[in-house]
Amino acid sequence: MEYNHHCFGICAASGILSLPSMQDNLNLILNTLLQILSVLPPREQAHFFSADIESKFRFSLNHAWADSTLKKYHGVIKDFHSFCDKEHVPSCNHLPANEHLLCAFAASHVGSVAGDTVQSHMAALKAWHIYNNAS
């Protein structure tokens, strides 16, 4: 199955990991955000900010994580989608993921990875939710 999810600007297409250039990364993130916004119901916003602030905000989010962190987080997000597919979780429930789904994903690693690794996985999924304003 092919994914084009909002994964910090790193996408898994047919399971192939590739790290795009910074410009490719920015373009991908912008296009993905536009796609997401086009299908989401309108949300109430407390305040609309100037284009300059919005631009700085997007820039900050796009550069908030080191490349090595993005690579690790991408792997976790890809694993999370695979887990969801294996468990027949509808894609619309992947993001935002509810507490039960996150606990099930964490529990699926019992006996195969250390507790610190599971905590790292949860940090990756939390960052993914924050990045996508899906809490």
- CB neighbours of 56 closer than 8 A, spacing ≥ 6? none
Nearest to 125 by CA among 108, 100, 105: 105
User: Hey, what are 90's tokens?
Assistant: 């509808």
Q: List, for residues 90-107, the tens digit of each pLDDT value.
A: 999 999 999 999 999 999
pLDDT at 124 over 70: yes
Average pLDDT, the chain: 76
Residue pair 109/118 in contact (Cβ under 8 Å)? The answer is yes
pLDDT, average across residues 107-134 = 88
Tokens representing 10 are 């790193």
pLDDT for 43 beyond 80? no
**pLDDT exceeds cutoff 50 at 62:** yes
Distance (Å, whole) CA 104 – CA 67: 28
